[in-house]
Amino acid sequence: MNDILIVPAITAEVELLQQIARETFQESFAADNTPENMKQYLQENFSIAKLSAELSEPDSEFYFAMLKNQPIGYMKVNFRSAQSELYNSRAVELERIYVLKSHQGKKVGQQLFNQAMTLAMEARAPFLWLGVWEHNTKAIAFYRKNGFTEFTTHPFQLGTEMQTDLIMRLNLPLHKLQ
């Protein structure tokens, strides 16, 4: 029934990553931000050079949500020193999780999130954390539904505008892998 595959992204797929990253970010935030700030952010953060460097970072992992060989979403997780903030060196950061608007509401985000949970559990992380824009009520509701709670905030620069991200965490159970 579910034809969506969650697969690791490799460095050779940087153009594909750039395409889905720019498209999903634009869909998610263009209506609430100026075209100038959006353009600046997309150029600075989703350039081939920057994405290639991120893909090459050994403590970061990207995954695509694929449907019929086309990416419909993606996520990025960071381990150890690759985390954008070091709340705990053993924690895992879910830095990005985006799904095309045309595929939202079809559990694609949940599948990506489940993959992030698996990675965090395998890493024996004490918690999984993320930053989400304080005005992104849909995403905040999704994370709360999955057990996340807010524990602090941090600034997020979008072009010339300083915004605020809620920092949310999900404590992971102590577990033993077989």
Percentages helix, strand, coil for the chain (3-state, rounded to 5) are 40, 35, 25
| Distance of alpha carbon 12 from alpha carbon 81, whole angstroms | 24
Q: Is 41 a catalytic residue?
A: no
- CA 41-47-49 angle, 5° bins: 140
Which residue carries 């709360």 as its tokens? Answer: 144
Which pair of structure tokens corresponds to residue 19? 């395409």
Closest to 13 (Cα-Cα) out of 67, 78, 63, 60: 63
Q: Which residues of 32-59 are buried (b: 16+ CB within 10 A; e: fewer)?
A: ebeeebbebbbeeebeeeebeebbeeee
Active site positions, annotated = 143
